[in-house]
Amino acid sequence: MGQTIFVVCRESIEALLVIGILYAWMDGRADATTGKKWLFSGVLAGFGLAALLTLTLIGVSDLLGGEGRAWFEIGMLAFASALIVQMVMWMRVHGRTLKKELETGLEKSLQGKKSWWGVFFLAMIAVGREGSETVMFLYGSLLQLGTLASYISFFTAVAIGLALAMVLFYALQIGGRFISWKWFFRVTEIMLLFLGSALFLTASEKLLSGPLAATDLPSWLYSNMWDMSSVLSDGSIFGNLLASLFAYRSQPIGWDVAVLGTYWLVVMVILKWQSKDKTIAIAQVTAEQV
């Protein structure tokens, strides 16, 4: 439930950020009423795209059987983990200039021809992208839905996440007196990377217990590395929350440690490479200005 609340809240705020920029940009324009109709039409279209992806994933999963379904689930979880890392990288580059980039693009799309298709597609892509990412990140949770209680719990978490997103977005909009955009994205980027590790670990555990079950692997991969269950079991409420958000395991085996070590090594290398490229780009721009 905690994973669902966090993911829905974080992705909703990103979508609200884009929608808020578009809405504020249209205020004061003579044709703002028409523009806002296109804006909200794009929002509805975005929800439609996310719903279509949800139905597609569930439908494909139901059609596949046995080993095919296992590989599909592993692939989706691993892809969601990779998507999180890519999203963090994208926000690190475009987060500060997002408002300016959107407004410049909208001005160009409206010059001369007065077309609102740019607003429609930006809104649709913003909502559709964040909605699709939410579906991907919560794919494992969606597969576990079956009983009435599980559906109630899931959609309650979704509602809480949406409500929390509205509150945080409002707090950020009224001058940043409570939370600044900079610190919000910095903290949630770190939490997203941990969520990515949790999804990647879940995918690897499914791989070990499924397709690789009959493979003869080194014995240390199956050995318990330590036991924290007496302090905090991952079967408890709080332990389960840490497991779904931060890949916590109270009794990790060698496989878990190796997988998480590989994940964080790759992430650190990628982020270091991105920071190096960004520094070089800034230095080049500065040199050109001089």
* 62-95 residue pLDDT tens: 787 777 888 888 888 898 899 888 888 877 776 6
| Bridge partner residues of 224 (DSSP) | 253
Q: Model pTM greater than 0.85?
A: no
pLDDT tens for residues 178-231? 666 677 778 888 888 998 899 899 999 999 988 888 888 899 999 999 999 999
- Tally DSSP H helices, then E strands, for the chain: 10, 0
Find, among 182, 152, 158, 207, the residue nearest to 54 by Cα. Answer: 158
Tokens of 248: 């916590």
| Cα separation, 225 vs 189, whole angstroms | 29
d(CA 57, CA 214): 28
Query: Quick check: helix, strand or coil at residue 47?
Result: helix
